[in-house]
Structure 1
Amino acid sequence: MSDALLRFRERFPILETTNYLVSNSLGAMPRTVPERLAEYARTWAEEGVRAWGSAWWGMPLQVGDTIAPLIGAAEGEVAMVPNVTAAQALVLSALDFRGGRDTIVMTALDFPSVRYVTDALAEKFGARVVVVPSEDGVSIDEDAVIAAVDDRTALVAVSHVLFRSAYVLDAARIVKAAHDRGALVALDAFHSVGVLPVDVKASGADFLMGGVLKWLCGGPGGCFVYVAPRVRDALAPALAGWMGHARPFAFEDSMTPSPGIARWLGGTPAIPALYAAAEGPKIVREAGIERIREKSTRQTARLIALADERGYTVAAPRRPERRGGTVAFDVPHAYEVSRCLLEREIIVDYRPGAGIRIAPHFYTSDDELELAVAAIDEILASGAWQRHAGRSTVVT
């Protein structure tokens, strides 16, 4: 079948030499990124400290404006931050848990790093964390999330798409129920933005955080936070920095938060990461998120069918509207098989409890999916996986 999105393949050099099926972990690098990083180096070399005035100072908000259309936000509503863990900490530090609302609701399938910082700060702030369990290790019952929200809940902090299974939560339903009970909602959209449509206005989320690392093909170090205008100026993060000051170059002794989204900035950002961060989102916008979602739904359905034919346990939702961009299936000796695939330039990853994760993106051909599963067949049949038995690596 004809696939118009394959015309974008030429913009990603790694696709020339690999079968790249891991965009849920690290998106392919756009061909223009080296030029942008060279521009950063040239600007620093030629302008020195003057680069702050000519190019760098406004970048955290300028790159945020590039991402804003992909989440249904307006210009001036998105700021870049170092990572989603930091974004979660910013949100938590802006809340007051002393006035009767002392509870944070999360789920058992949220990304661990976000759980770590929430647990630690909750203890410091005198808050408590309520964790909604999963019955099957794949999904979260939204009714259970809603039932956990009461008049003590300050924040519901959940993932839009679960990282291990790619299960899609009905964010708008959770937000409405939380708001009805007087709670705020923070959505972790790292595994949704760039592979399925996201609309912060339609969902009603108070906060949304994500990053360009994965589906947006923007590289490490570029994450973003959206804060709804209705709460943006009413709150100020305690984890403040000079770039969030109303008068940063006055170097005043006390903090006066900047108006608007700028108050959510911290200290000096990693400028090289911001140079790289905008390139992928531009391509995703050009490709069109609706077209990307349509292709992703079709290709992930094909992966599930291939796994079913072989009797593998699939750790991904069957219903397309509940499925993000990743399919995980637990083949025999999954970790060892994943290492063999990497040796063959078939780039996937492995997660305990899920197995091999395969994540096609808009630049993936149908043939590449068939070839990857055929390679798994051959690795198992030949016993090639055995040379990795008993070994382990830090990065999986």
Structure 2
Amino acid sequence: MTSHSLAKVAIRISRGYTEPSPGDRRRRAYLTDELLEWRREFPILESAVYLISHSLGAMPRRTYERLQEYADVWATRGVRAWAEGWWEMPQTVGDEVGRVIGADPGTVVMHQNVSVCQSLILSCFDTTRETRRNKIVYSELEFPSVMYVYEAHARDGRFRIEKIKSDDGVTAPLAATLAAIDEETLLVPVSHVLFKSASLQDARAITERAHEVGALVVLDTYQSAGTVPFSVKELDVDFCTGGSVKWLCGGPGAGYLYVAPRLQQQLEPKVTGWMAHAEPFSFEETITYAEGAARFLHGSPAVPALYAAESGYKIINEIGVARIRAKSVRQTQRLIELAEAAGLRVTSPHDPAQRGGTITVAADHAPAVTRELIRRETIVDYRPGAGIRISPHFYTKDEELEHVIREIRAILDTRAYAPHEAAGAAF
């Protein structure tokens, strides 16, 4: 410590100053938590302790207004609505979520879900059993729906899959992943944040290795968008997928697909439809792909889902993901402290630089404990091999963190979980 710093400390002590305790710091953070002003925007927070944004984010009040607007437009404008905004929505709404993920306007289009997006990506590539570059590399900890897509396409032998084993069931080993990516690798699908443990993966390192050998990266940001700041441009990924259901508070039925501009004109997806045509209303017998990201559209969009999703995206952009992340890091760290003080084992990474927005707690009888929590209007979920998943978001109060851990401990101590033992996991 410098003499100047020592002098400052001496002055503070002489004035009766004492270093704030961790509890004091937490109280100050709570009292200055401007993000709590957003609580009034989410009706479910009035009746439940809602800690499940990793699964389904709370619905904003403005979503009512947007869905009413959709109904009014349909009722009063009829088919003219397509020419008055509906047709462009897969791209205009894509631009809004593009702001969240650091994408340029015109590079993101909307689809129904990530399975569709990843199937569309895979359909861009022609391979045979004899093709040297036909390997797909991913971790065994990827979300199952994504693995199902690739495994189904690999059944006829056109693709080979190399699945990376996890040593601990929590993290995907980076070194093993990098070693598996070679000159025979076509695609590397990777979750930015793993869905069970919230382990945050080094997407930049994976992308750099993939590009060294000519492979392409498909980054699934479902568990990071809206709670972890990132830019698809800075990460230099080739494709990015995700959806509105979770941290983006946009509801189901709206997934997004980013395709790097350098690739757009090179690719012709076989999962396609009339919206991908350069002149869709010419109704030609064969497809001529549109320019840019529009060529990655397919059939008519789920317009109501896009109305709903846009509300969540705009809220996230109004707040800013950096502010959300700062609160998330503080609250997830507090959850770890509370859980361990209560004798519970945390299976998520302890280092905030290596985790997303969820804390997973291992507990005996976890599925039944989860059901009892939900009965008590404390909304969390359970995943096999991980435990009880708890996710504070920007609208979470600090006392709700203490509440959920206190409830878990009480349910275990009183065996209140027992009536739920035969029911299995929730959600």
TM range (shorter): over 0.9
**1:290 matched residue in structure 2:** 322
Matched-pair contact (CA < 8 Å) for 1:97–1:103: no
Q: State how far apart, in whole Å, the 2-side matches of 1:4 and 1:194 are.
A: 17
Question: How many Å apart are 1:302 and its aligned residue?
Answer: 1.0
Tell whether 2:33 aligns with 1:33: no
> What SS does structure 2 have at the residue aligned with 1:361?
coil
2:414 alignment partner AA: S
List per-residue Cα deviations over 1:218-270 (Å, max 9, x = no partner). Answer: 00011100000011111111101111111111111111111000011110111
List per-residue Cα deviations over 1:260-289 (Å, max 9, x = no partner). Answer: 000111101111000001101111111111
> What SS does structure 2 have at the residue aligned with 1:56?
coil
Question: How many Å apart are 1:47 and its aligned residue?
Answer: 1.6
Matched-pair contact (CA < 8 Å) for 2:371–2:420: yes
**2:103 matched residue in structure 1:** 73
Identity %, equivalent residues: 51
For residues 277-316 of structure 1, the aligned pairs below 5 Å read 277-316=309-348
**2:4 matched residue in structure 1:** none
> What SS does structure 1 have at the residue aligned with 2:105?
coil
1:145 alignment partner AA: T
Q: State how far apart, in whole Å, the 2-side matches of 1:34 and 1:156 are.
A: 39
2:419 alignment partner AA: R
Matched-pair contact (CA < 8 Å) for 2:342–2:409: no
Matched-pair contact (CA < 8 Å) for 2:101–2:232: yes
> What SS does structure 1 have at the residue aligned with 2:61?
coil
Of residues 319, 337, 342, the one that matches 2:374 is 342
For residues 170-249 of structure 1, the aligned pairs below 5 Å read 170-249=202-281
1:291 alignment partner AA: R
Tell whether 2:308 aligns with 1:272: no
Question: How many Å apart are 1:171 and its aligned residue?
Answer: 0.4
Of residues 328, 331, 351, the one that matches 2:383 is 351
**2:17 matched residue in structure 1:** none
**2:287 matched residue in structure 1:** 255
Question: How many Å apart are 1:321 and its aligned residue?
Answer: 0.2
Q: 299-308 vs 59-68, which deviates more?
A: 299-308
> What SS does structure 2 have at the residue aligned with 1:278?
helix
1:316 alignment partner AA: S
Tell whether 2:89 aligns with 1:89: no
Q: State how far apart, in whole Å, the 1-side matches of 2:295 and 2:241 are.
A: 16
Q: 131-140 vs 371-380, which deviates more?
A: 371-380
> What SS does structure 1 have at the residue aligned with 2:393?
coil
Q: State how far apart, in whole Å, the 1-side matches of 2:213 and 2:344 are.
A: 42
Q: 301-310 vs 237-246, which deviates more?
A: 301-310
Matched-pair contact (CA < 8 Å) for 1:97–1:154: no
What is the RMSD of the two structures over their aligned residues, measured on CA atoms?
1.1
Q: State how far apart, in whole Å, the 1-side matches of 2:154 and 2:207 are.
A: 21
Question: How many Å apart are 1:303 and its aligned residue?
Answer: 1.0
Q: State how far apart, in whole Å, the 2-side matches of 1:121 and 1:181 are.
A: 23
Q: State how far apart, in whole Å, the 1-side matches of 2:176 and 2:125 are.
A: 24
2:244 alignment partner AA: V
Question: How many Å apart are 1:381 and its aligned residue?
Answer: 2.0
> What SS does structure 1 have at the residue aligned with 2:155?
helix
> What SS does structure 1 have at the residue aligned with 2:289?
coil
Matched-pair contact (CA < 8 Å) for 2:342–2:405: no
Q: State how far apart, in whole Å, the 2-side matches of 1:285 and 1:44 are.
A: 28
For these two proteins, the number of residue pairs brought into alignment is 395
Q: 298-307 vs 104-113, which deviates more?
A: 298-307
Matched-pair contact (CA < 8 Å) for 1:93–1:238: yes
Question: How many Å apart are 1:125 and its aligned residue?
Answer: 6.2
Tell whether 2:12 aligns with 1:12: no
> Considering only CA atoms, is the larger Rg found in Structure 1 or Structure 2?
2
Matched-pair contact (CA < 8 Å) for 1:85–1:114: yes
Q: State how far apart, in whole Å, the 1-side matches of 2:46 and 2:171 are.
A: 36
**2:75 matched residue in structure 1:** 45
**2:415 matched residue in structure 1:** 383
List per-residue Cα deviations over 1:343-375 (Å, max 9, x = no partner). Answer: 111110111111110000010011001011111
Q: State how far apart, in whole Å, the 2-side matches of 1:81 and 1:219 are.
A: 13
Q: Give the gaps of 5 or more residues in structure 1.
A: none
1:28 alignment partner AA: A
Matched-pair contact (CA < 8 Å) for 2:200–2:355: yes
**1:317 matched residue in structure 2:** 349
**1:151 matched residue in structure 2:** 183
